[in-house]
Each structure stands twice: as structure tokens, then as C-alpha cells.
Amino acid sequence: MLDSCLKQLFWFRVECMSDAAQIFAIRDFNRFYTARLGLLRKRHLDGEFSLTEARMLYEIWANPRLTASNLRGILGLDAGYISRLLASLTKRKLVRQAVSKADSRERLLSLTQAGEKKVAALNRQSEQQIEAMLQGLSGEEKEKLVASLSAVRSLLSAQKSSEVQVERLNEVTDEVLDLLQEYYEAVGVMVRDTPESVREIVDDPDAGVWIATLNGKIVGCSYLHSLPSMQGATECKRLYVRPSARGKGVAHALLDAQEAFAKSRGFKRIYLDSKDDLRVAIGLYQRRGFVACERYNDNPQATVFLMKEIAETSKKAMRRPSR
């Protein structure tokens, strides 16, 4: 009861703050956190890379088949600046640049073996830094911190996703099939759906295909289909957002729509599979509450299996009874 009252008092104080006070509070936190992480130092983690170079290497590592223009969109940086840094990383034999077969104007980015080793070292250093920062916190405090970070991300992402429109299809169009084909090529899917199998999912009242549009253009898709061998379970498949629309809340909007539908149809759990190299997607799923589970299908390419409890009854059962 006391904890609930304190939360209400906190939000009352926040809502009563003036715009200027709220802006000051956020700027004050930014100053605290950038200094705490050492982001003001000349070199990231006191190593050989600037913060921007380290972030570029991470994005190339985390996003297979990333293009230079996609990287610019993710980081929100000037094209000339990105180009100069890419040239430097390429000269240092950390990054490869290859002309895209789909669009000769685009360059596909990948890490060399030396680049992979550098990113692995950066990841270890970053994890150690955060681990040291959390050392003095209790388990409950860590959970509160992570939940607060998720809330910040969700609130700020909601601004970007306000223009995203999501709908469940009632028919399969050539445009949707083209988008799925784009997904297959981007991820390297071996076992692909036929147009007939996609239509079956669209016609199934307990399944569906969702598309996301941004400014009137289709930019993403995903679908759910039931798992007959697992009672109360459905599976999320083919989540894909076009590179030009990434970072705008499209994936969250698609997953929100699917979860709402699954709950309305009485499903208790959503499963999905992925591959180790789809690191950004796996991180997205984990932030949304998916946890590791046992292999549940025979997908030959899948190496990661995740599950999320969505039934309200499941959440209530996890709470401790009041005394």
C-alpha cells in the first residue's frame, strides 16, 4: 500500500511540474549519465575508437546486410561524416564495403575477422562497465532500474510510432507477397511460404497477417499462426521492417497489434524462433518480455527459441497473495 501511494505521489509531482522544470530534469539526468558512462572522454572505454566509431561497428555487427544509408538512418548522422568514418574503418581493415546486387547505388557493410574481434572486445568491456555500475544495487533495485529504462524507451518510441498504421489483412495482395520476398532475401530464409499458405493464414480466424504503413506506404509485416500441438499457444513469424522505416516504432506497433489479437482469441503464450545473428531482433523480443525456451519446432535455420506469457491469469498467478 505504501509503495502504491509513493508511486501516485511521484506521478502527481511529475504532472505538476512545468515544462521548463521537466526539461531541466531531463537535461540534468543527461549530464549525470553521460559523465557516469564516460561518454565525454576522447575515446570510448579509453580504447582506440571514438564513441561514433564504436557504435558504427556495433550496428554493422548487429545488423546483417546493413547498408551505408541504413546506418545513416539508424544513427541520424550526416552522410559525409558517416562516409569519412566508414572509409577510415575500411582502411583499417575492420569493415568491408560491397556493392549491393539489388541496388548498385548502395553499399553492403560487414565486419572483417579483425572487426569481429574488436567488437567482441568492445562488448566485453561495455558489459563489465555496466556490471560494475550495478554492483551496489540489490536485485529488486536492478529490476526497478531496468523497468524504468523500458518505460523511457516505450514513451519516447510512442512519439515515433504515432504515424504508424497497422491492420490485419483480409486478402493477400502482390504488394504483401513482394514484401515477404524482400524479408526472405534479407534474412536468408530457406523454407519459404507459398502464396497459398499465406492465404490460409489470412483466412484462419485464429491467425492472421499484419502489415504496417507509414505515410501511406507499406513498411513492415508480421503474422501469427496457431500451434496445434501446443494448447493455448500461437507463433509469431516473419516480423520484418524495411530499413528505411527502422527506428520509428514499426516493429513495436506490429507486435502490439498481434499481442492484442492473441489475447482476444484466448491464447496464453506466444512463441517465436530466430537466428543467433539477428541480434537486434532478439534484443527487441527480450525487451518485450520474451524469454528463452526449449526448441518447439523443426526449423533447420532456427537457433534461438523464445516464449512470452500473455494471459492475464498467468500474471496474477505470479503475484504473491496479500496478507
d(CA 220, CA 288): 18
* Residue 266: predicted pLDDT: 93
d(CA 153, CA 149): 6
* Residue 76: predicted pLDDT: 84
- This prediction's pTM: 0.66
In degrees, rounded to 5, the angle at the alpha carbon of residue 238 between the alpha carbons of residues 98 and 247 is 65
State the span(s) of the chain assigned CATH 1.10.10.10: 44-132
Cell 489475447 found at: 263
* Residue 162: predicted pLDDT: 58
Q: Strand ranges (DSSP E) for 45-86?
A: 66-67
Look up residue 62 and give its three cell numbers. Answer: 548487429
State the span(s) of the chain assigned CATH 3.40.630.30: 164-318
Q: Please name the residues in contact with 156: beta carbons below 8 A apart, sequence gap of 6 or more.
A: none
Each residue's pLDDT expressed in tens, for the chain with a length of 323 residues: 545 554 554 555 556 678 889 999 999 999 999 999 999 998 999 999 999 999 999 999 988 778 888 888 888 888 899 999 999 999 999 999 998 776 777 888 999 999 999 999 999 999 999 999 999 999 999 999 988 988 888 788 766 555 889 999 999 999 999 999 999 988 889 999 999 999 999 999 999 999 999 888 999 999 999 898 899 999 999 999 998 888 888 999 999 999 999 999 999 999 999 999 898 899 999 989 999 999 999 999 999 999 999 986 444 443 443 43
d(CA 161, CA 166): 10
Question: For domain 44-132, which architecture applies?
Answer: Orthogonal Bundle (1.10)
* Residue 268: predicted pLDDT: 95
* Residue 319: predicted pLDDT: 40
Contact 109, 71 (CB under 8 A): yes
Look up residue 319 and give its three cell numbers. Answer: 503475484
Which CATH number describes the domain made up of 164-318? 3.40.630.30
Q: How far is CA 201 from CA 171, 174, 237, 272, in A?
A: 10, 16, 11, 16
**What 3-state class would DSSP assign to 115?**
helix
Other Cβ atoms less than 10 A from the Cβ of 173: the count is 11
Other Cβ atoms less than 10 A from the Cβ of 96: the count is 15
Other Cβ atoms less than 10 A from the Cβ of 310: the count is 19
Q: How far is CA 159 from CA 164, 248, 253, in A?
A: 10, 9, 12
Residue 212, beta-bridge partner list: 166, 220
d(CA 110, CA 67): 9
* Residue 311: predicted pLDDT: 81
